[in-house]
Structure 1
Amino acid sequence: MLKKLPLIILLIISSCSKKPQMIPQSLGELKLDKFLVGKEAREFINQMHVSGMVAGDRNEVGFYSLDTLKAVLYISKFKSSEIAEQKLEQMLIKIAHGGTPFVLHNQFRIQNRDIFLVFGMGQSHYIYADKDKLIWLSADMPISLVVLHSFLKQKM
């Protein structure tokens, strides 16, 4: 039994890491329906981009809903805040130059964060860097501000 103890501990730790650590269980009244963490989240994020490898060292994606209203939260954690800021800047440059399904609409400041609002694919998208994390929050327009404010109130 003692010889198997390290294996049992490893299995317990690895199963615990399959739960989201960065995304909340709800955004306003929207509830978390499904989530991706680790390799699944990284692959999902990278598949959405033509350029390939854009995901961070740790990644989580949360899918939220209430009736017909939907939101998706993408969080990529990088080695440093500088890398997160670089990734944000690269994304905004691509959006500004066109060739993506998004249109850069506005920039505003909330809680000492520069948040960029883009529109596309029928949703509002809020993008910003928070320390070593890059956040992309997509939400149906009728609930997008409520969802954003709910997320900003929560601790990550």
Structure 2
Amino acid sequence: MPESWRLMLPDDMAAVEAVAAVVHPGFFERTEVLTERLALYPEGCRVLERSGVVVGYLISHPWDDGAVPALDTFLHRLPEVPGTCYLHDIALLPEARRGGAGSQAVIELIDRAGRRFPSLSLVAVHGSAPFWERHGLRIEDRPELRAKLASYDENARYMRRIF
């Protein structure tokens, strides 16, 4: 089945919400919060389509280095001088995880982010740190983030790749 990543559109939000409900049932975020991310930085939002059906998404945006936006909260604005491209979320339905679509999206994000930002950062959850390490991100122990990371899960890790 042909699949490809494309820019996310406002009309994709119901499908994005459906993917999030399957992939991240413990990390609820209101549709309005995700819609705001898309409105603030549309070039950082993508969906993975397979035969016309959304089976994954990626949401990223400029942010302050060393900071982690709380889950399910509005950003209201992006920083004037961002220190990082923050990968808010990447999610693929189980049937879309084979074949390298996730790595393809990350490689493309790293390429785009590396041309504009000093770093790429994210919070790794569900034991995904080894995946991110393969893409050049490293765990950073930041004591000031411990409480916020614990709100994700006990194994959440702040990770960053410096360009």
State if a TM-score over 0.5 links the two structures.
no
Rg larger for: 1
The structure carrying a bigger strand percent of its residues is 1
TM-score between the two structures when normalised by the length of structure 2: 0.36
